[in-house]
């Protein structure tokens, strides 16, 4: 697996965001406006598809 280095960016309203590499979005079949869940595990962030 390649490493993709990204910076955390703060928007004007105080939230932060990270741009995802196009290759990862396509590989995971993510869609625009798709809901995702984030979990912390130690110093890692786990990103998963949101399940109702």
Q: What is the pLDDT of residues 1-52, one digit of tens each?
A: 568 899 999 999 899 999 999 999 999 999 999 999 999 999 999 999 998 7
Measured CA to CA, the distance from residue 6 to residue 19 in angstroms comes to 7
24 part of a folded domain: yes
1 part of a folded domain: no
3 part of a folded domain: no
34 part of a folded domain: yes
Measured CA to CA, the distance from residue 41 to residue 30 in angstroms comes to 22
pLDDT of amino acid 2: 66
Give how many domains the chain has, as a whole number. Answer: 1
Residue 25: what are its φ and ψ, rounded to 5°? -60, -45
4 part of a folded domain: no
15 part of a folded domain: yes
pLDDT of amino acid 1: 56
pLDDT of amino acid 3: 81
Measured CA to CA, the distance from residue 51 to residue 2 in angstroms comes to 27
Q: How many helices (H) and strands (E) does the chain have?
A: 1, 4
DSSP category for residue 23: H
Domain that holds residue 42: 9-49
pLDDT of amino acid 5: 92
Q: Is the pTM of this model over 0.85?
A: no
């Amino acid at each position: 697996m390649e490493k993709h280095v990204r910076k955390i960016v703060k928007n004007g309203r105080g939230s932060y965001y990270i741009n995802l590499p196009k290759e990862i979005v396509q590989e995971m079949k993510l869609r625009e406006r798709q809901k995702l869940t984030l979990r912390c595990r130690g110093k890692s962030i786990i990103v998963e598809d949101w399940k109702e």
